[in-house]
Amino acid sequence: MALQLLVAGGGIGGLASALALARGGHRVELFEQSAVFAEVGAGIQLGPNAVRRLHALGLAQALDTIAAKPDALVVRAASDDHELACLPLGDVAVRRYGAPYCCVHRADLHGVLLAAVRAQADVALNHPARLVQIEHSDDVVTVAADGARAWEGDALIGADGLWSAVRAELDVPGPAPQPTGHTAWRGLLSQAALPLAQRSTQVRVWLGDRLHALVYPVRGGELLNVVVLAEAAPTGDARDWDQSTSLDALQRATGRCCTTLQGYLSAVPTWRAWTLHDRAPLTGPGQMTHERIALLGDAAHPMLPYLAQGAGMAIEDAVALAEALRSVDSDGVPEALRRYANARWQRNARVQARARRNAQIFHAAGPLRMARDLAMRTLGARLLDQPWLYAH
Ligand code: FAD
């Protein structure tokens, strides 16, 4: 039966869910507060778990046109550039997990999802439309956007990100997002403008004291995404994903790194910063749904990007939500949303917890760092591979 579904938020999670729900035969009204559908930020890594779902949503060809498919993940020490471990990706990931490991520009992925959603006759995109009022009864959810007209639906999906208004209305148990004391500095480089030795087809990671850095190709390999994640005080408005900053500000917080990494950092023309927040891992399905309202993506489970899976989990949520709502009539919606939350909360909690643990491992100093480096050199690919995550 075709349900009328309301989706708050037009980020990666909101668009992926609108697409999955429309492909499941439902009518969707999506609300995005921004005047323009767009994504700030730079690179996103997509593990095979997320890529398989995007393929299932019919996006394999479109993804191929925007993605870089790195050959390997190579981890080095930020102090002297010595290699600690390497995980082959490329065809090895495809053989192992049925889909490639992809790196994309956030705006490109958003553009692919938006085009696919626009091609669905049963999705209405409302923007700018900031949801300000939510009411729900046993039978229906009603929302109003910025005092404008009201919409009714069989369910409301809160895909409205870290500072979710839907979550606030829901009175979901759990504290507000917490600042983690970590900041992401990021920039982009044109590969064509770099000397050959600096061009890369790998995900390169450097681990240092209280920081790690990544360099990986996006936009089909045309650009390199450069990001440094450091335990450093926020630089500006903590809610702003796109703060203006500089290499000086970064290196006052982190100091200088090995020459290879320094070469990439110095080449970045414009730096932006992003203050990182997370929530404690989910403790039960009640934190993802209540009656006719469900949360998805960062609205439900924001996490540190230290497993590169926040968007991946939003995409997994979207597909699971559509699956739970398949062949359900309006009376069956609350039970279907409970099935969705039951199917998703432990997976999301595990990823949240692993992302937090990775922060300690990646940024270790002293004896813990020595133990980490020894384990990496000894176990190599076996330590970097994540079958529990990618095969799911
Ligand atoms: P958002 O992207 O926050 O989208 C929410 C949308 O809702 C926005 O468009 C917002 O304008 C809209 N909105 C908010 N309130 C309202 C309202 N009241 N009414 C209407 N609209 C509203 N993930 C990965 O998978 N791989 C990575 O490599 C990766 N790297 C990352 C690197 C960094 C530095 C950071 C910070 C995150 C990274 N992530 C990564 C995580 C990923 O970016 C997020 O998990 C993902 O973008 C969450 O998507 P979302 O749709 O749930 O939320």
* Average pLDDT for 252-256: 81
pTM of the entire structure? 0.96
Mean pLDDT of 54-75: 98
- The Cα 116–Cα 289 span in angstroms is 27
Counting from 1 in the atom list of ligand 1, the atom nearest the Cα of 45 is 28
Distance 144 CA to ligand 1 centre (A): 22
Question: H/E/C letters for each residue in the chain?
Answer: CCCEEEEECCCHHHHHHHHHHHHCCCEEEEECCCCCCCCCCCEEEECHHHHHHHHHCCCHHHHHHHCECCCEEEEEECCCCCEEEEEECHHHHHHHHCCCCEEEEHHHHHHHHHHHHHCCCCEEEECCCCEEEEEECCCCEEEEECCCCEEEECEEEECCCCCCHHHHHHCCCCCCCEEEEEEEEEEEEEHHHCCHHHCCCCEEEEEECCEEEEEEEEHHHCEEEEEEEEECCCCCCCCCCCEEECHHHHHHHHCCCCHHHHHHHHHCCCEEEEEEEECCCCCCHHHCEECCEEECHHHCCCCCCCCCCHHHHHHHHHHHHHHHCCCCCHHHHHHHHHHHHHHHHHHHHHHHHHHHHHHHHHCCCHHHHHHHHHHHHHHCHHHHCCHHHHCC
Lowest mean pLDDT among 14-18, 125-129, 148-152, 220-224: 148-152
CA of 14 to the centre of ligand 1 (A): 9
Per residue in 141-171, pLDDT (tens digit) is 999 988 677 999 999 999 999 999 999 888 7
Indicate if the pLDDT at residue 233 is higher than 80: no
Residue 326 has pLDDT above 70, yes or no: yes
Q: What percent of the chain has pLDDT over 90?
A: 84
Does the active-site annotation cover 216? yes
Across the range 106-110, mean pLDDT stands at: 96
Which of 6, 7, 12, 344 to mutate to test ligand 1, by most ligand atoms within 8 A of the CB atom?
12
- Helix pair angle (106-118, 12-23), 10° resolution: 30
Predicted pLDDT at 238: 67
Top mean pLDDT of 29-43, 225-239, 363-377 is at 363-377
Confidence bin at 235 (pLDDT 50/70/90): low
Distance between Cα 161 and ligand 1 center (Å) = 5
Residue 45 has pLDDT above 90, yes or no: yes
Please check the confidence at residue 378 and state whether its pLDDT lies above 90: yes
Q: Which residue did the predictor score with more confidence, 257 or 39? A: 257
pLDDT of residue 358: 94
Q: What is the mean pLDDT of residues 40-63?
A: 95
Q: Average pLDDT in the 298-316 region?
A: 97
pLDDT of residue 171: 73
pLDDT at 385 over 70: yes
